[in-house]
């Protein structure tokens, strides 16, 4: 779900360089 990815990015800023795919 794209919404989950967006929410995750908004809630959890890119502090760690983790590949968005989990």
Tell me the three state secondary structure of residue 22.
coil
Look at residue 5 in the predicted model and tell me its pLDDT.
72
Look at residue 7 in the predicted model and tell me its pLDDT.
72
Buried residues in 1-22 as b, exposed as e (16+ CB within 10 A): eeeeeeeeeeeeeeeeeeeeee
Look at residue 8 in the predicted model and tell me its pLDDT.
73
Tell me the three state secondary structure of residue 10.
helix
Q: Per residue in 1-22, pLDDT tens?
A: 567 677 777 666 666 656 665 5
Look at residue 6 in the predicted model and tell me its pLDDT.
72
Look at residue 1 in the predicted model and tell me its pLDDT.
59
Look at residue 17 in the predicted model and tell me its pLDDT.
59
């Amino acid at each position: 779900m794209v919404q989950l990815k967006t929410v995750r990015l908004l809630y959890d800023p890119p502090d760690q360089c983790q590949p968005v795919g989990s």
